[in-house]
Structure formats: structure tokens, C-alpha cells
Amino acid sequence: MSEINLPWLDPNDSNSAFPAANSALKEPEGLVAAGGDLKPQRVLRAYREGIFPWYEENQPILWWSPNPRGVFYPNNFIVHKRFSRTIKNKNWRITFDHSFIDVMKACAEPRANSRGTWITAGMIKAYTELFNLGYAHSFEVWNEKNELIGGIYGIALGSMFFGESMFSKENEASKVALLYLCAYLDTWEYKIMDTQLSSKHLTSLGGIEIDRDEYLYILSKRIDEKVHSNAWDKNFCIDISEWINRL
């Protein structure tokens, strides 16, 4: 394997610039840089420039901007008939920003056919700090026993939401979390959700792939755009059934 010529970021200068997102390597696809730190200013700058951290324990911090990019338009969520029955028949409770760190830890738990997790202790610490600063958010799904059975978390900047990870402990619980997230994002006037990579699961629900240059153009237009004044106000509720009927 040939040596990779990869830019390294200074861990002592959280304000230093990233290489351009479209300068990312083709092999491994989308790798932009390594090193640096996970302080809030560094992580937020990365998102603003179309880059995100993704690495495993015992690796340096790796920064990525894949091409193509997975995205989700909240008002394009596809509610299949079987899933519609799940929404109606399950007596689940949905909250947001109620148990952020528990959602992150659940997302970090081992999964089938997975060697490990990229949600390291360092990532949990960094994103919990971003949550405390008002940038990171979560949606949670609770069953009748008040057990956390599903959730999703990510970063909100401008009129964009950057989805990070989701989990299920009961069938379709993560899908319910994603549905409610999309309903609220759309109501709060968020325009697009970044899913980083695409998957069959996300595509089946309405996710698409776009070229990185198109993504960066959308990002430049949306990253400083204002959203609804009630965004992330825990007293703000919507009728999810009415929202679904408008899809």
C-alpha cells in the first residue's frame, strides 16, 4: 500500500484552518485530515466547512468529507403502511433533549457485524459539551415501562441538522425517532439534514445522495440561515399525525 500524504492538524491550535473539503482523498474516500482536537470551536468549524470527525479508539482523530454525500429533506420522509401501523399502535413517548448522553452511549454500544464503535469516550465528551452549549440535540423514544428504546442525535447549525447516529432496542424505535426529528425540523424551518453517508435503510425512508460540490453549495447557503424562534423549545409541540398527512 502506498504512503498517504495527509495533512495533520495542530492539536494546540483549535482555530487553525481545515484543508478544503473537496481536497479529500479518493482512497480512503473522503478523508480530509488527521489530528487536531475535539474542542467545540474545532468541531463546529468542521461542520461549517462540510467536514466531520469519524475515527475509532486508538486511532488519531480523522476528519472526513465523503463524495457523494447522504442527505435527507425532512418533508420528504416516506411513511410506509407497516410503519404507519407502528406509529398508531405503539404507546411510545417521544422527547427531545431529555437524555442526550444516554442516547450517545446507546449509539456507542456494540452492534451485529460491527468490529467496534467510532463513538469513543472522547467523542461522547466533546458532543456532550456541544449539547451543553446548545448545538447538539437528541430525540428519545420511551416504551410503556419508561425505558429508553430508541434515539437519534446530531448538531444543529443554521437551517441544517447534521445527523450523527441513531439506535433501536425495540423494532422500529430508531425510525420513530427519525420521523419525529424530521417532523420537528420541518416545522422549525430546517431545510436539510446531513446523514454523511447513504444507506439502504435511509434511502427507503426518503434519503438521497448528492455530489459533494452540490452539498457544499447548499451548506454555504444554509449554514447561517435563521430558523423558527421556537426551535428546541421543550414546550413546543406539534401534532405528528397532521404533519404526516401533509407529506
Q: Report pLDDT for 1.
A: 36
Q: Which three cell numbers stand for residue 79?
A: 411513511
The whole-chain average pLDDT of the chain stands at 94
pLDDT digits (tens, 9 = 90+) for 137-194: 999 999 999 999 999 999 999 999 999 999 999 999 999 999 999 999 999 999 999 9
DSSP bridge pairs for 76: none
- The reply to whether CATH 3.30.360.10 applies to domain 8-67 is no
Give the chain's length: 247
Query: CB within 8 A of 25, min separation 6: which ones?
Result: 4, 6, 31, 32
pLDDT digits (tens, 9 = 90+) for 196-227: 999 999 999 999 999 999 999 999 999 999 99
Q: Report pLDDT for 115.
A: 54
Tell me the C-alpha distance between 154 and 130, whole Å: 10
Q: Report pLDDT for 7.
A: 94
Distance of CA 225 to the CA centre of its chain: 18
Give the helix/strand (H/E) hosting 64.
Answer: strand 62-64
CATH code of the domain made up of 70-245: 3.40.630.70
pLDDT digits (tens, 9 = 90+) for 40-98: 999 999 999 999 999 998 899 999 999 999 999 999 999 988 898 888 888 999 999 99
**Entry pTM:** 0.94
C-alpha to C-alpha distances, 222 to 43, 129, 192, 194, 227, nearest whole angstrom: 18, 24, 9, 12, 10
C-alpha to C-alpha distances, 194 to 48, 57, 139, 157, 173, nearest whole angstrom: 12, 24, 16, 11, 20
- Identity (one letter) of the amino acid at 176? V
Q: Report pLDDT for 82.
A: 85
Domains 8-67 and 70-245 share a fold: no
| pLDDT of 21 over the 90 cut | yes
At residue 34 the predicted structure's pLDDT band, cuts being 50, 70 and 90, is very high
At residue 113 the predicted structure's pLDDT band, cuts being 50, 70 and 90, is low
Domains of the chain, by residue range, sit at: 8-67, 70-245
| pLDDT of 116 over the 70 cut | no
Residue 186 contacts residue 51 (beta carbons within 8 Å): no
Q: Report pLDDT for 67.
A: 97
| pLDDT of 99 over the 70 cut | yes
Tell me the C-alpha distance between 212 and 45, whole Å: 17
- Identity (one letter) of the amino acid at 82? R
